[in-house]
Structure 1
Amino acid sequence: MQLPVSRLFAPMIAIIILSLSGTARAELAEFPAPADQVEGSVRIYSSLDIELAQPLIKAFQVRYPRMSVQYETLLTDEVHDRIVAESEAGTGTADFAFSSAMDLQVKLANDGFARPVRTPDTAGWPNWANWRDTAYALTYEPAVFAYHKPSFAGQELPTTRAGLLRWMAEHPAQAQGRIGTYDVARSGVGYLFMARDQDLYPDIWSVVSAMGKAGVKQFPTSAEILQRIADGELVLGYNLLGSYVAEFARQHPEKVGLILPRDFTVVVSRIGLVPAAARSPRAGETFLAFLMSPEGQVLLSRTLRLSAVSLEVAGQTGPAGGMQDLAGLRLKPVPVSPGLLAYLDQATRARLLKRWNEALRGD
């Protein structure tokens, strides 16, 4: 079933703000087909902000000018829950899902909510980035620190977790109430970052406890943290998606800086899949194939500053792509595999959230 786009939207992109559960907001953007004759529509659920996705969608429509795009921005858990609910209701769901919560995307595939898709680039895709042709890693994104440049003028930057501990101890007044991070109970990628920190860094709870004493602020999205850093309300953001920080730093070069942790750098990927209950599965497959193509990977890497997964593209993207910027780091990528489901085990999740809250309270 294809969803035609009203010609009323032809002059502009229409943004509709929808209230979800009284807390989070979803943005639905309509991108009319550039051509006069519309042959199809692709509906996308994504955790990537519309502002970052627009160049990608426009490039897709240059290649497929008769395709309209409906792009809905959701929190990562909402992407998962919406697809499950709509699939089980039998009403059909999005044609393509693109999310930074790797565990939730793999769960969709593992639970039968994604269909196998082979694109022209599947054969050459890295093994770690493809699970049974149902869930594809499309980006290669580090977890980074962000900081307010004016606040750190003349100071040594904390480039490791031990350095962050030392900075909080040496600058308690500066740190108090001015550190931001993800709310790990509400942000899927924030929870995954913390779970990986726990696996990789035995002293992580000392860091969390120190942030708790410093009155750390928690947010569900990167944008909320980064805007407050740009405004100077916060001076440091911990464990943020590097793609958002890089873009914000480009837009606010005098205010926002990016730190790639030198002790270890967790690397996650945005995973794309075509839901089994997609209303227009061929449209979803076409969009996935575009993102996996050299053109799509170059766009993700250069335009959005997300490092490419495609080995063919990774060596061609130049410094803007970010691959060279990661040289020399202790990179800890998360493979696309059912091993991610361990982080979603309810008992495991409950233990981590309990430990998180206890550390923040200083228990």
Structure 2
Amino acid sequence: MTVVKGIIWVCVFIASALVNAKPTKSVPVTLRVFGAAYLSEMKPLLDDFSMRNPNINVQYRWMSSEELDSHIRSGAEPQPDITISSVMHLQLRLVNDGYASEPVQFLDQGTSEHSPFPVWSHWRNALFGFSFEPAVVVFNKAFVQDKEVPTNRTELLGFIRQHSEELMGRIGLFDIRKVGIGYLLWSFERQQARNYGQFLELFNYHYARTFDSTRSMLRALSEGQIAMSYQVVGSYANSWQKLHDDIVVVPMEDYTPVILRTAFINRTTQNTEQAKQFISYLLSSPGQWVMAEQTNMPPIRLDVTGEKSAQYMRQEFADQLKPLPLDVRLLVFADKSKKEIVITEWESALKNYD
């Protein structure tokens, strides 16, 4: 009888302890997202994802594309769980060289004709494009106020010649030796533009200034230090224009290069499921609508509409847009010897660069 009472007492004690015990909160998993995208553009997405996934603590770290590539290849700590960049050739080379996790087939990312994604927006189910971003020419608003703004490259060449004196030392370019997106767009231009050599000649003659970031170039435009910038990522230019109504953003109508901002899961991640959740969110309808409504990064999903969407731009400007291919052709731009040729040609032509 004493034994039975003892057992009952122990059971009551345990039950009481369970009732009175405070529930323990699970510790959020830290997910490191390293990106060459400015935090100001990514913040609405990061905030919305965090609200939907309170068990995941996202740490976002900005790096230049070249720094990001070097950081991952060197194995420097900490390594990211997810890597984001618009510099497509470096992203594709990292994936091709084995720095991404095993291929992942996301439920909402199928390859059938009913998929909400263009078939060219992902590669090997390891690298995923989530935005569709034209490169543009940007002018200082005051400079073009009483001028006819050029809308194609032939007109732009004539515009530079016509206003030669005013543009002396006031044309902005990316320093392609330091800026990954600048190198990528310049290399693509080299393939596409019939008047590529004429631009090189004019940029050199006018002592074109070089910049190592989009922000520094747009700031120089706003301040009137330069009058025009060539090949700027449109999302950044549009974001700047919203805050500083002193620039004019012009996509060239003869052709407009389009880059994809891409993401992949790093092979070193210890948080595979959380990383999958983040990529799934970027590709999801809610995530893409956040992009459409709260950022200047055009969403890539075909079922997200509006003037800033890839679907709208492809319908309205199909003949004008030239997306860079997200496939092995990009590896040509990543080839070291090829890059040396492009940069040597650029340096030789732009002898007067700043």
Residues 15-37 of structure 1: CA deviation (Å, up to 9, x unaligned):
xxxxxxxxxxxxxxxxxxxxx75
Q: Is the 8 A contact 1:183 1:218 kept in 2?
A: yes
- Name the CA distance, whole Å, in 1 between partners of 2:106 and 2:310: 25
Matched, 1:354 2:344: yes
In structure 2, relative to structure 1, the CA distance for the partners of 1:181 and 1:322 (3 Å cut) is farther
Q: Is the 8 A contact 2:135 2:234 kept in 1?
A: yes
Q: Which residue of 1 aligns with 2:226?
A: 234
Q: Which amino acid aligns with 2:85?
A: S
- Name the CA distance, whole Å, in 1 between partners of 2:214 and 2:71: 21
Q: Which residue of 2 aligns with 1:245?
A: 237
Q: Which residue of 2 aligns with 1:113?
A: 99
Q: Which amino acid aligns with 1:263?
A: D
Given candidates 182, 187, 191, the residue that maps to 1:195 is 187
Matched, 1:47 2:47: no
Aligned length: 321
- Name the CA distance, whole Å, in 2 between partners of 1:324 and 1:118: 26
In structure 2, relative to structure 1, the CA distance for the partners of 1:85 and 1:279 (3 Å cut) is farther
Q: Which amino acid aligns with 1:104?
A: L
Given candidates 234, 254, 260, the residue that maps to 1:263 is 254
Matched, 1:293 2:284: yes
- Name the CA distance, whole Å, in 1 between partners of 2:150 and 2:272: 46
Q: Is the 8 A contact 2:83 2:265 kept in 1?
A: yes
Aligned pairs for 1:203-352 (under 5 A) are 203-253=195-245, 255-313=246-304, 316=305, 318-321=306-309, 324=312, 327-328=316-317, 329-352=319-342
Q: State the shift of 1:158 in Å.
A: 2.1
Q: Which residue of 2 aligns with 1:98?
A: 84
Q: Is the 8 A contact 1:149 1:256 kept in 2?
A: yes
Instruction: Note the aligned Cα RMSD (angstroms).
Output: 1.8
- Name the CA distance, whole Å, in 2 between partners of 1:131 and 1:321: 21
Q: Is the 8 A contact 1:38 1:68 kept in 2?
A: no
In structure 2, relative to structure 1, the CA distance for the partners of 1:79 and 1:246 (3 Å cut) is same
Q: Secondary structure at the match of 1:300?
A: helix
Q: Which amino acid aligns with 1:137?
A: G
Residues 2-25 of structure 1: CA deviation (Å, up to 9, x unaligned):
xxxxxxxxxxxxxxxxxxxxxxxx
Q: State the shift of 1:93 in Å.
A: 1.5
Q: Secondary structure at the match of 2:254?
A: coil
Matched, 1:152 2:152: no
Matched, 1:77 2:72: no
Q: Is the 8 A contact 1:145 1:236 kept in 2?
A: yes
Q: Which runs of 5+ in 2 are unaligned?
A: 1-24
Q: Is the 8 A contact 2:80 2:266 kept in 1?
A: yes
- Name the CA distance, whole Å, in 2 between partners of 1:217 and 1:120: 47
Residues 218-238 of structure 1: CA deviation (Å, up to 9, x unaligned):
112211111111111111110
Percent identity of equivalent pairs: 26
- Name the CA distance, whole Å, in 1 between partners of 2:272 and 2:73: 16
- Name the CA distance, whole Å, in 1 between partners of 2:125 and 2:200: 37
Matched, 1:66 2:55: yes
Q: Which residue of 2 aligns with 1:15?
A: none
- Name the CA distance, whole Å, in 1 between partners of 2:105 and 2:205: 50
Q: State the shift of 1:323 in Å.
A: 5.2
- Name the CA distance, whole Å, in 2 between partners of 1:38 and 1:158: 56
Q: State the shift of 1:320 in Å.
A: 4.2
Stretches of 4+ aligned residues off by more than 6 angstroms: none
State the TM-score, normalized to the length of structure 2: 0.86
Q: State the shift of 1:177 in Å.
A: 1.2
Q: Which amino acid aligns with 1:180?
A: G
- Name the CA distance, whole Å, in 2 between partners of 1:214 and 1:203: 17
Q: Which amino acid aligns with 2:332?
A: A
Residues 227-268 of structure 1: CA deviation (Å, up to 9, x unaligned):
111111111110000000111111122x01100101111111
- Name the CA distance, whole Å, in 1 between partners of 2:209 and 2:138: 14
Q: Is the 8 A contact 2:41 2:296 kept in 1?
A: no
Q: Which runs of 5+ in 1 are unaligned?
A: 1-35
Q: State the shift of 1:332 in Å.
A: 0.7
Moved more, 200-209 or 269-278: 200-209
Q: Which has the larger radius of gyration?
A: 2
- Name the CA distance, whole Å, in 2 between partners of 1:271 and 1:295: 18
Higher relative contact order (CA 8 A, sep 6+): 2
- Name the CA distance, whole Å, in 2 between partners of 1:229 and 1:325: 26
Q: State the shift of 1:321 in Å.
A: 3.9
Q: Which residue of 1 aligns with 2:14?
A: none
State the TM-score, normalized to the length of structure 1: 0.84
Q: Secondary structure at the match of 1:177?
A: coil
Q: Is the 8 A contact 2:28 2:54 kept in 1?
A: no
Residues 327-356 of structure 1: CA deviation (Å, up to 9, x unaligned):
235111112111100111122111111111
- Name the CA distance, whole Å, in 2 between partners of 1:323 and 1:359: 38
